[in-house]
Amino acid sequence: MIDLHYLPSLEYFACLFPYNTIRLEAQESYQKQTYRNRCYVLTSQKVDRLTVPVRKGNSNVPYRTIEIDYGQPWEDVHWRALCAAYSKAPYFEYFAEYFRAIFLRQYTYLFDLNLALLEACLHLLQLDKKIELSEYYEKYLAGNSVDARYSIHPRARLDPSNYYHPAQYQQVFGKVFHPNLSIIDLLFCEGHNACNILQQATSREISKKQELIIP
Protein backbone atom coordinates (compact mmCIF):
# COMPACT_ATOMS: atom_id res chain seq x y z
CA MET A 1 0.00 0.00 0.00
CA ILE A 2 1.24 3.50 -0.79
CA ASP A 3 0.08 7.12 -0.53
CA LEU A 4 -1.30 8.89 -3.57
CA HIS A 5 0.98 11.68 -4.80
CA TYR A 6 0.71 14.54 -7.30
CA LEU A 7 2.60 13.71 -10.52
CA PRO A 8 4.71 11.26 -8.49
CA SER A 9 8.47 10.99 -8.37
CA LEU A 10 10.61 8.33 -10.01
CA GLU A 11 11.16 6.80 -6.58
CA TYR A 12 7.41 6.32 -6.29
CA PHE A 13 7.15 4.54 -9.64
CA ALA A 14 10.20 2.41 -8.88
CA CYS A 15 8.34 1.31 -5.77
CA LEU A 16 5.26 0.40 -7.82
CA PHE A 17 7.13 -1.26 -10.66
CA PRO A 18 7.37 -4.90 -9.46
CA TYR A 19 3.74 -5.27 -8.42
CA ASN A 20 0.66 -6.30 -10.38
CA THR A 21 -1.87 -4.79 -7.99
CA ILE A 22 -1.53 -1.39 -6.36
CA ARG A 23 -3.72 -0.60 -3.40
CA LEU A 24 -3.99 3.08 -2.61
CA GLU A 25 -4.60 4.32 0.90
CA ALA A 26 -7.87 6.19 0.52
CA GLN A 27 -8.88 6.48 4.16
CA GLU A 28 -6.00 8.37 5.74
CA SER A 29 -5.97 11.91 7.10
CA TYR A 30 -4.36 14.51 4.87
CA GLN A 31 -0.63 15.03 5.44
CA LYS A 32 0.83 18.50 4.92
CA GLN A 33 4.30 19.20 3.51
CA THR A 34 4.29 15.98 1.49
CA TYR A 35 4.16 14.86 -2.14
CA ARG A 36 0.36 14.73 -1.96
CA ASN A 37 0.11 18.20 -3.49
CA ARG A 38 3.59 18.89 -4.87
CA CYS A 39 6.07 17.66 -7.45
CA TYR A 40 9.48 18.70 -8.77
CA VAL A 41 10.44 19.49 -12.36
CA LEU A 42 13.62 20.71 -14.06
CA THR A 43 13.57 24.23 -15.53
CA SER A 44 16.33 26.16 -17.30
CA GLN A 45 17.28 27.79 -14.00
CA LYS A 46 16.79 25.12 -11.32
CA VAL A 47 14.74 22.25 -10.01
CA ASP A 48 11.38 23.86 -9.36
CA ARG A 49 8.55 22.85 -7.05
CA LEU A 50 4.97 22.90 -8.32
CA THR A 51 2.32 22.96 -5.58
CA VAL A 52 -1.43 22.48 -5.85
CA PRO A 53 -3.15 24.88 -3.39
CA VAL A 54 -5.78 23.26 -1.19
CA ARG A 55 -8.54 24.35 1.16
CA LYS A 56 -8.67 23.26 4.81
CA GLY A 57 -5.29 21.65 4.48
CA ASN A 58 -4.73 20.59 8.08
CA SER A 59 -3.73 17.08 9.06
CA ASN A 60 -7.03 16.15 10.72
CA VAL A 61 -9.07 16.30 7.51
CA PRO A 62 -9.63 13.10 5.47
CA TYR A 63 -7.46 13.18 2.36
CA ARG A 64 -10.39 12.34 0.07
CA THR A 65 -12.29 15.45 1.23
CA ILE A 66 -9.44 17.91 0.61
CA GLU A 67 -10.62 20.39 -2.00
CA ILE A 68 -8.39 22.13 -4.53
CA ASP A 69 -8.34 25.93 -4.19
CA TYR A 70 -9.26 27.33 -7.60
CA GLY A 71 -9.17 30.84 -6.17
CA GLN A 72 -5.54 30.60 -7.26
CA PRO A 73 -4.87 29.96 -10.98
CA TRP A 74 -2.56 27.07 -10.14
CA GLU A 75 -3.43 24.97 -13.19
CA ASP A 76 -2.39 27.80 -15.54
CA VAL A 77 0.80 28.33 -13.53
CA HIS A 78 1.63 24.62 -13.66
CA TRP A 79 0.86 24.32 -17.36
CA ARG A 80 3.02 27.33 -18.25
CA ALA A 81 5.81 25.92 -16.10
CA LEU A 82 5.60 22.54 -17.84
CA CYS A 83 5.59 24.15 -21.28
CA ALA A 84 8.59 26.32 -20.40
CA ALA A 85 10.46 23.34 -18.96
CA TYR A 86 9.62 20.67 -21.51
CA SER A 87 8.40 22.17 -24.79
CA LYS A 88 11.76 21.24 -26.35
CA ALA A 89 11.75 17.73 -24.89
CA PRO A 90 11.51 15.00 -27.57
CA TYR A 91 8.14 13.63 -26.46
CA PHE A 92 6.40 16.72 -25.12
CA GLU A 93 4.10 17.11 -28.13
CA TYR A 94 3.08 13.44 -27.94
CA PHE A 95 2.21 13.32 -24.23
CA ALA A 96 1.41 16.89 -23.17
CA GLU A 97 -2.29 16.84 -24.04
CA TYR A 98 -2.93 13.90 -21.71
CA PHE A 99 -1.99 16.13 -18.80
CA ARG A 100 -3.52 19.31 -20.20
CA ALA A 101 -6.87 17.54 -20.51
CA ILE A 102 -6.76 16.48 -16.86
CA PHE A 103 -5.94 20.01 -15.67
CA LEU A 104 -8.86 21.39 -17.70
CA ARG A 105 -11.36 19.11 -15.95
CA GLN A 106 -10.96 21.10 -12.73
CA TYR A 107 -11.40 18.26 -10.27
CA THR A 108 -12.95 19.34 -6.99
CA TYR A 109 -10.88 17.01 -4.84
CA LEU A 110 -7.10 16.64 -4.75
CA PHE A 111 -7.38 12.86 -4.39
CA ASP A 112 -9.39 12.56 -7.62
CA LEU A 113 -6.93 14.77 -9.52
CA ASN A 114 -3.99 12.71 -8.30
CA LEU A 115 -5.70 9.44 -9.16
CA ALA A 116 -6.42 10.61 -12.72
CA LEU A 117 -2.80 11.69 -13.14
CA LEU A 118 -1.49 8.38 -11.77
CA GLU A 119 -3.67 6.42 -14.18
CA ALA A 120 -2.49 8.59 -17.10
CA CYS A 121 1.16 8.09 -16.16
CA LEU A 122 0.76 4.31 -15.88
CA HIS A 123 -0.92 4.30 -19.30
CA LEU A 124 1.89 6.31 -20.91
CA LEU A 125 4.48 4.08 -19.25
CA GLN A 126 2.59 1.09 -20.69
CA LEU A 127 2.40 -0.46 -17.23
CA ASP A 128 -0.66 -2.62 -16.76
CA LYS A 129 -1.47 -2.33 -13.06
CA LYS A 130 -4.67 -3.07 -11.20
CA ILE A 131 -5.51 -0.15 -8.89
CA GLU A 132 -7.64 -0.61 -5.79
CA LEU A 133 -8.66 1.85 -3.08
CA SER A 134 -8.61 0.89 0.58
CA GLU A 135 -12.06 0.74 2.17
CA TYR A 136 -10.95 1.43 5.75
CA TYR A 137 -7.78 2.53 7.50
CA GLU A 138 -5.43 -0.16 8.78
CA LYS A 139 -2.58 0.88 11.04
CA TYR A 140 -0.86 -2.44 10.39
CA LEU A 141 -1.33 -4.49 7.26
CA ALA A 142 -2.05 -8.18 7.38
CA GLY A 143 -0.93 -10.96 5.08
CA ASN A 144 1.56 -10.48 2.27
CA SER A 145 0.69 -6.86 1.54
CA VAL A 146 3.69 -4.53 1.37
CA ASP A 147 3.24 -1.31 3.33
CA ALA A 148 5.00 1.57 1.56
CA ARG A 149 2.90 4.27 3.19
CA TYR A 150 4.75 7.38 4.34
CA SER A 151 8.07 5.98 3.09
CA ILE A 152 8.50 8.47 0.22
CA HIS A 153 8.70 12.04 1.47
CA PRO A 154 10.24 15.23 0.02
CA ARG A 155 12.30 15.76 3.17
CA ALA A 156 13.65 12.22 3.29
CA ARG A 157 17.16 11.59 2.00
CA LEU A 158 17.11 9.46 -1.14
CA ASP A 159 18.27 5.97 -0.19
CA PRO A 160 19.20 3.83 -3.24
CA SER A 161 18.83 0.68 -1.14
CA ASN A 162 15.15 1.46 -0.63
CA TYR A 163 13.24 1.57 -3.95
CA TYR A 164 15.06 3.76 -6.44
CA HIS A 165 18.59 3.62 -7.81
CA PRO A 166 18.98 6.56 -10.25
CA ALA A 167 19.40 5.52 -13.88
CA GLN A 168 20.54 8.49 -15.96
CA TYR A 169 18.82 9.70 -19.11
CA GLN A 170 19.18 12.85 -21.22
CA GLN A 171 17.34 15.73 -19.57
CA VAL A 172 16.42 18.98 -21.28
CA PHE A 173 18.66 21.39 -19.36
CA GLY A 174 22.25 21.29 -18.21
CA LYS A 175 24.97 18.67 -18.05
CA VAL A 176 24.34 17.60 -14.44
CA PHE A 177 21.75 14.84 -14.04
CA HIS A 178 19.00 15.56 -11.53
CA PRO A 179 17.55 12.31 -10.12
CA ASN A 180 14.10 11.62 -8.72
CA LEU A 181 12.12 14.38 -10.39
CA SER A 182 8.47 13.93 -11.26
CA ILE A 183 7.72 11.06 -13.62
CA ILE A 184 6.68 13.73 -16.12
CA ASP A 185 10.37 14.61 -16.63
CA LEU A 186 11.17 11.04 -17.68
CA LEU A 187 8.09 10.71 -19.87
CA PHE A 188 8.71 13.93 -21.81
CA CYS A 189 12.41 13.14 -22.26
CA GLU A 190 12.27 9.41 -23.05
CA GLY A 191 8.77 8.63 -24.30
CA HIS A 192 7.98 4.93 -24.45
CA ASN A 193 11.56 4.14 -23.45
CA ALA A 194 10.69 5.58 -20.03
CA CYS A 195 9.54 2.15 -18.85
CA ASN A 196 12.98 0.68 -19.61
CA ILE A 197 14.71 3.49 -17.71
CA LEU A 198 12.36 2.96 -14.80
CA GLN A 199 13.10 -0.75 -14.77
CA GLN A 200 16.82 0.03 -14.57
CA ALA A 201 16.11 2.40 -11.69
CA THR A 202 14.30 -0.22 -9.62
CA SER A 203 17.04 -0.79 -7.10
CA ARG A 204 16.54 -4.34 -5.98
CA GLU A 205 15.11 -7.65 -7.00
CA ILE A 206 11.67 -7.88 -5.44
CA SER A 207 9.70 -11.04 -5.99
CA LYS A 208 6.38 -10.24 -7.62
CA LYS A 209 3.59 -9.98 -5.11
CA GLN A 210 -0.08 -9.66 -5.84
CA GLU A 211 -0.69 -6.49 -3.90
CA LEU A 212 1.03 -3.28 -2.93
CA ILE A 213 -0.84 -1.04 -0.54
CA ILE A 214 -0.20 2.66 -0.89
CA PRO A 215 -1.53 5.37 1.42
The pLDDT tens digits of the residues spanning 136-178 come to 999 888 877 889 999 999 988 777 667 899 999 999 998 899 9
Distance, in Å, from the CA atom of 157 to the CA atom of 165, rounded to the nearest integer, reads 13
Of residues 153, 197, 188, 167, the one with CA closest to residue 81: 188
56 pLDDT higher than 60? yes
Q: Which pLDDT value is given to residue 58? A: 66
Of residues 31, 35, 25, 27, the one with CA closest to residue 60: 31
The 8-class DSSP code of residue 2 comes to B
Mean pLDDT of all residues in 56-75: 89
Confidence (pTM): 0.92
Contact between 198 and 17 under an 8 Å Cβ cutoff? The reply is yes
Share of the chain above pLDDT 90, in %: 80
CB neighbours of 177 closer than 8 A, spacing ≥ 6?
166, 168, 169, 171
Q: Which pLDDT value is given to residue 94? A: 96
pLDDT tens-digit map of 76-102:
999 999 999 999 999 999 999 999 999
pLDDT tens-digit map of 100-138:
999 999 999 999 999 999 999 999 999 999 999 999 999
Mean pLDDT of all residues in 185-194: 97
The ranges assigned to domains in the chain are 10-214
64, 65, 205 from 29: Cα distances, Å: 8, 9, 32
Distance of CA 191 to the CA centre of its chain: 17
Distance, in Å, from the CA atom of 15 to the CA atom of 105, rounded to the nearest integer, reads 28
